[in-house]
Chain A
Amino acid sequence: MKNSRIKSSQWRWPLGVGLFILIILLVPLVGGLFWQYLIANVLLLSLFALSFNVLFGMAGYLSFGQGAFYAVGAYVTGLLMLAKLPLLVSILLGFVAAGVLALILGFFCVRHTQVYFALLTLAFGMMVHAIVWKWSSVTGGDDGLIGIPRGSLGVPGVISVQLEPFTNYYYFLVIVTLFAIYFLYRIHISPFGLVLRGIRENSGRVDFAGVAARKYILIAFIIAGLFAGLAGALMAPLEKTVGPAVAHWTKSGEPVFAALIGGPFVFSGPILGALIYIGLKEFIVRLTQYWLLIFGIVLLTIVLSFRGGILGFIQEQIQKKRSMY
């Protein structure tokens, strides 16, 4: 039954979570820079996709414009780092800037639902892309921002840790991302999360439960924007460069795919999705110059053959087996 797919809060795999964190922390010891860089990217896409999934998987609102918040986080952080502000301050401001943009755009977007919501977010996303592209004096236009330093962490005059061998930045990124993911998990299992799932199931009825659904969607929109911005903010010092491509709708499509592959109704779905998305891309690029075509076909096959995503599909199978006994 399609109904048994949900109820993800029962699905906690403490062992899996511990193993996941351990592998991430051990990567620098066994793998080289390539693996660290790859895992860093998986984590950023995971965070990006999880933030997107607060709107999509939890509340049922499909946004095609999350790239806008990712880009604002990345550009603000990049610009501030170039202006020699401390790393934490830059990232925090990038995070906040994305949230402010989400508040403004969300005000208009949450008045609509379904396809209108999706198209409105897409339009706003492309507007941000156009601004990033054309406003050369600030954003560097087509070239983007280059030579962003990674800076250092610490208390001025007391202690300072350089984030410049890459591994140091890797650990910094891992810690911040894991905290952010934990925060999003807490939302998932909070009363607020239940209300969002109620809105996904039947937004009209939520109002008659005494909850103003639209206000909650706006808060979800802001949370999604904030954490998309955080992913972007962490990306800028990682890549040391930010170009207008991060605001493009194809960037907004990445979390959509990650969530659909892994399973939007399971909290960890987007993480698995991000791993598969980036892993596949990395793998297929080596094989053929027509990698986009193959990549597209493989993604479509996964999305079409696993209803509810891979984790959603597995969960359904397990529940089916259980109900047979």
Chain B
Amino acid sequence: MNAIIRTENLTKTFSKFIAVNDVTLKIPEGQVMAIIGPNGAGKTTLINLLTGRLIPDRGRVFFRNADITSMSSSGRVCCGIGRSFQITNIFPRLTVRENVAIPALAHAKQTHSVIRRLAGFQETHKRVDKILEEVGLGDLANLIAGQLSHGDQRRLEIALALTTEPCLLILDEPTAGMNPRERKKALELLGSLAKSGRLTLLIIEHDMDVVFSLADRIVVLNQGSLLAEGSPDEIRKNPRVLDIYLGAAIAGAPEVQKAQLKLEGEKILEVKEIDTFYGLSQALHSVSLKVHKGEAVALLGRNGVGKTTTLRCIMGLNPPRRGSIRFCGEEISRYPSYSIASRGIGYVPDDRRIFPNLSTLENLMLPAQVRWIRKGHWTVDKVAQIFPQLAKIMDRKGRFLSGGEQKMLSIGRALMGDPSLLLLDEPSEGLSPLVLKMLLEALDRIREEGLTTLVADQNVNFAHAVADRAYILDKGAIAYDGAMEELWADKEVLKTYLAV
């Protein structure tokens, strides 16, 4: 079958970080292809390279055998490559009809008209109305786009891409942040697009139901590289794909002494029925969880299910719209982040946030300079005992640290704030087995110091090695709650919520 678009050795780096690494890919005409992979796998970067938003460092892009590597994004749209965006990207203060009129006029080559009245272009307006009917926005045509519900905005997003009459339509997480009803409607729309046979679809999606119900072929990316490609069945059975979704077994992991389950113990953190939104998009649906003193709790789930949001929510970075968060008995859900931190919650974000121009030592010393940060228990020496590797690189600037070293430093920095509860976001992400082992040992030592931890991760093996209890998040809601060992034994649950 003919490839509608193909890439040759496509590579893109962002200041040393290799986002897309040597990807050679063919997308056959007329099929539905899905790209999956964990967070930071390079999916969106790859799409940006295909659509001209980014220019690759190396490699080429061919569209129907024509080299389009250096073509502008508007030029590619005119060739027939349409796309939607992961984060809703519409014209918020124009009406829905005006939104769609822009690509419709562009497609009809009428945007150059400076003098003729917009209202005079009857044919184009008819087409706009037809497209709006098709995606189910006909009744909302005269509303201001920014006032639509999230699901309707997502459909407008797709309508904008469809209006350019693409022969290749690229959709970046078309169902992101939708509620189940909106998701169902969107799936119907995508299904009818796929069946219409007039275009090739390339979809990035986290929701495996969507992927497996639509895709003819699946491409798996991991850390910027092509990991696997094949039919849905082949991908489901591919052991390497399972590894990146469940985490590979960690060789030589220390046998962590599991604490007794202390369900009756003192609750250090109690999250009750929180709803959290990003704009109109609801990320968490009535999430409740408890962490007891001295426990290590894992928050598991595929990417995009709300793990990071839950931690950000606890931390006050994205406060809940409804529900309560109690820390040591005190309601903290309305407090600003710094105030929550000063009460003794340490937060290690997934992107590490190391100060690139400060040395390791300076990064560690920084919290001590801030008045409201708690001090006392932890010193630089003590952190160096937990992370022996850091002691060797105290003078090195943050930007020259490896990913693993940065991760340790960011945990160490959080410890310097003397937390009684530590929130870790994706600690195992992107770490080599050796570094992972060091991290596990360090977490074990941290635990001996009496710290309580809540770890959000995708890697079940890692979570199994660290945690006593686990929650599984799915589509923004708690789907499983139980002891880690029980979950570990329950392959059915693991497969449903964590594997592809």
Seen from chain A, the residues whose Cβ lies within 8 Å of a Cβ on chain B are 1-7, 9, 183, 186-187, 189-195, 197-198, 201-202, 204-213, 216, 219, 223
Contacts and interface: CB of A to CB of B under 8 A. Distances in A.
B93 interface: yes
A139 B243 CA distance: 76
B113 interface: yes
8 contacts: A3-B144, A183-B115, A186-B115, A187-B115, A190-B116, A194-B118, A206-B102, A208-B77
Contacts of A201: 91-94
Nearest to B157: A205
B105 interface: yes
Query: Which of A5, A202, A206, A208 neighbours the largest number of chain B CB atoms within 10 Å of its CB?
Result: A208
Ranked nearest first, the 8 interchain pairs of A and B with the lowest CB-CB distance are A209-B103, A210-B77, A201-B91, A210-B106, A212-B74, A3-B144, A207-B74, A3-B146
B111 interface: yes
Contacts, number: 121
Nearest to A198: B102
Nearest to A4: B144
Contacts of A193: 118
B90 A202 contact: yes
Contacts of A6: 93-94, 144
A8 B94 CA distance: 10
B339 to A, nearest CB: 30
B92 A202 contact: yes
Nearest to B83: A208
A187 B115 CA distance: 6
B317 interface: no
A109 to B, nearest CB: 19
B164 interface: yes
B335 interface: no
B119 interface: yes
B379 interface: no
Contacts of A207: 72-74, 77
Interface in B208-241: none
Contacts of B110: 191
A216 B83 CA distance: 21
A197 B106 contact: no
A191 B123 CA distance: 13
Interface of B: 51, 53, 72-75, 77-78, 82-83, 85, 89-95, 98, 101-103, 105-107, 110-119, 121, 144, 146-147, 160-161, 163-164
Contacts of A186: 114-115, 117
Contact of A205 (B72, B89, B115, B144): B89
Contacts of A183: 115
A209 to B, nearest CB: 4
Nearest to B114: A192
Nearest to A205: B89
B90 A210 contact: no
Contacts of B107: 210
Given A194-B111, A206-B74, 11 more contacts: A7-B95, A9-B118, A189-B118, A195-B111, A197-B91, A197-B98, A202-B91, A204-B89, A207-B72, A207-B74, A216-B111
Contacts of A211: 74, 102, 106, 111
A210 B51 CA distance: 11
A197 B93 CA distance: 9
A62 B115 CA distance: 23
Nearest to A220: B114
A202 B98 contact: no
Given A189-B119, A198-B91, A209 B144 contact: no
A9 B94 CA distance: 11
Given A3-B147, A197-B94, A204-B89, A209 B160 contact: yes
Contacts of A3: 92-93, 144, 146-147
B206 to A, nearest CB: 22
Contacts of B82: 208
A207 B164 CA distance: 11
Contacts of A223: 114
Contacts of A7: 94-95, 144
B124 to A, nearest CB: 8
B147 A209 contact: no
A192 B90 contact: no
A103 to B, nearest CB: 16
A208 B73 contact: yes
B399 to A, nearest CB: 26
Contact of B105 (A1, A194, A202): A194
Nearest to B77: A210
B105 A191 contact: yes
Nearest to A188: B118
B107 to A, nearest CB: 6
Contact of A192 (B77, B83, B92, B113): B113
B159 to A, nearest CB: 11
Contacts of B89: 202, 204-205, 208
B106 A209 contact: yes
Contacts of A205: 85, 89-91, 160
A158 B75 CA distance: 54
A223 B95 CA distance: 26
B88 to A, nearest CB: 10
A191 B73 contact: no
A204 to B, nearest CB: 7
Nearest to B110: A191
Given A6-B94, A209-B103, A187 B74 contact: no
B118 A195 contact: no
Contact of A210 (B92, B103, B146): B103
Contacts of B85: 205
A202 to B, nearest CB: 5
A189 B147 contact: no
Given A6-B144, A204-B89, A205-B89, A192 B73 contact: no
A194 B98 contact: yes
A2 B147 CA distance: 10
A117 to B, nearest CB: 20
Contacts of A192: 111-114
B280 to A, nearest CB: 13
Contacts of B74: 206-213
A3 B89 CA distance: 16
B447 to A, nearest CB: 46
B312 to A, nearest CB: 26
Given A198-B94, A198-B102, A210-B106, A1 B147 contact: yes
